[in-house]
Amino acid sequence: MTTALVTGGNRGIGLAICRELGRQGMTVLLAARDEAAGDGAVAALTDEGLDVRALTLDVASDASVTACAEALAREKVAVDVLVNNAGLLAEGDLIDADDISVMEEAIAVNLLGPLRTARAFMPGMAQRGYGRVVNVSSNWGSFDQGLEGPAAYAVTKAALNALTVRLAREAGEGVKVNCMCPGWVQTRMGGQGATSTPEQGADTAVFLATLPDDGPTGGFFRHRKPIAW
């Protein structure tokens, strides 16, 4: 049985990813910063007959990530698929911001969060010779697209893309690391005027989470196709 851990899994794209991975027969660890929100999401998915359990996890906290990994290790639960979906839409520009705390918070969640979880779970994947890591990024983090959108969000998503490339180099045989852009999605972050449903936004993440052995690694994808950095 394949086990997937999805951060920020209690709503929006993350919840859609959890649902589809569960439908594909995986055991899903739905990780949420808010315990009650995580429990509510898991209750809905288990009512659909899916094998899902809740984890309380704050990716911005070293202690929280470490405690989660240690608890799973004690239970002998191996994470085969890691989807780094938790993210922060930090508003504003860089120079005119009142202070630097907005950037610091964005770095903690959008960049260091995926690094923390990768450090916690990728070594085990390498030891077992199998793993899939998916970083949910954005075309706002693409140099090719001009780093549009709120500044701290664009800069930290660009850094997440760079992190993806480097993690893929260090991943070990059998472990694939990719990032993806879900598009403009009808979520709390994207708003109801967005052009894609959460299920549509989740599709490429699910595709990357279930890659075959000869699938790509170190790439950036949208609609299941490579896109420019």
Active-site residue set: 153
- 3-state per-residue secondary structure call for 43-67: HHHHHCCCCEEEEECCCCCHHHHHH
pLDDT digit string (tens) for 129-157?
A: 999 999 999 999 999 999 999 999 999 99
Model pTM score? 0.95
- Distance between alpha carbon 134 and the CA centroid of its chain, in Å? 6
pLDDT digit string (tens) for 83-100?
A: 999 999 988 889 988 889
Express as a percent the part of the chain with pLDDT over 70: 95
For the segment(s) 3-226, the CATH number from 3.30.450.20, 1.10.599.10, 3.40.640.10, 3.40.50.720 is 3.40.50.720
pLDDT at 184: 58
Q: Which residues have a Cβ under 8 Å from the Cβ of 30 and sit 6 or more positions away?
A: 6, 9, 10, 14, 15, 18, 38, 41, 42, 45, 52, 53, 54, 55
What are the C-alpha distances in Å from 87 to residues 2, 63, 93, 96? Answer: 24, 18, 18, 23
Spatial separation of the C-alpha atoms in residues 159 and 107, rounded to whole Å: 9
Residue type, 160: L
DSSP result, 129-193: T-EEEEEE--GGG-TTTTS-SSHHHHHHHHHHHHHHHHHHHHS-TTEEEEEE---SBSSTTT-TT
- Number of separate helices (H) and strands (E) present in the chain: 7, 8
